[in-house]
Structure 1
Amino acid sequence: MSDIVVVYELDKPVATESSGSPGDGERPVRRVHAAPTAPGTLTRTGPRTLCGKDTFVMATARRRPSERRGAPWYPDEYASLVCPDCDAVMEI
C-alpha cells in the first residue's frame, strides 16, 4: 500500500522535570493510525484516517507502510497502540 501514511494521535502534553508546566512537555503517542495520502502527494495525509478520525491534529510518522515488505504497517515500538479499526482495513 504505497498510498498510506502512518499518523500518530497524540495525548495531552505532560510536564517534564526541566519544564515544570504541562504545556511545555512532550506529547506521548496515544494511538497509531493509517491514513490515505492527499491527492497528488505521497507524503501528506488526507483529511481522515482509515477509521474516520480527523488527521489535522495528528503527527505524521517518518515510516511508510511500503518500506519493508512483509513487515507490519506500523512501527514496532507502537504495536500496542495500533488502532484496531485502521489495522482491520490495512489487512484487507
Structure 2
Amino acid sequence: MSGIIVVHELDGAVRARTARGTARAVGEAVRRVHAAPAAPGTTTEPGPRTLCGRDTFAMEAVPWKPSEQAGSPWYPPDEADLACPACNAAMDDG
C-alpha cells in the first residue's frame, strides 16, 4: 500500500489556500474518505485523482498512512462508514 494517500472529501464550498497550494478547510464535516496515489516525486501529497476518479484539488490529505498500519484497512478504522466504496473496490483489486 505504499504510495497511497488517504484524503477527505469535505462538505462545504469555502476553502482557503495554504502556501503549499493545498485546500485547507477547518471545521468542515467529512463527507467521504478516498484513496489516491501519491503525486510523482512525493510520498505525502495526493495525485490529481482518487482511485475512483474524483479530483483531489479540494480534498484534504489525512495523516493516516496505510503502509505503516500493518493489518489495518487503507482508511482510518474510525471512518469505516465514510470509506468510498469505489476506492475500496480498487484497493481490493490492487
Query: Which residue pairs with 1:42 in the alignment?
Result: 43
User: Which consecutive aligned stretches of 4+ in structure 1 deviate over 4 angstroms post-superposition?
Assistant: none
Note the C-alpha offset of 1:82.
0.5
**Within 5 Å, which residues of 2 pair with 1:23-62?**
26-62=27-63
Q: Could you tell me how far apart the structure 2 residues matched to 1:37 and 1:47 are?
A: 9
How many equivalent residue pairs? 81
CA RMSD of aligned residues (A): 1.3
Structure 1 gaps of 5+ residues are 14-24
Give the structure-1-normalised TM-score. Answer: 0.84
Structure 2 gaps of 5+ residues are 14-25
Q: Could you tell me how far apart the structure 1 residues matched to 2:42 and 2:12 are?
A: 29
Give the structure-2-normalised TM-score. Answer: 0.82
Give the letter for the 1:70 counterpart.
G
Q: Could you tell me how far apart the structure 1 residues matched to 2:70 and 2:76 are?
A: 13
Calculate percent identity across the aligned residue pairs. Answer: 58
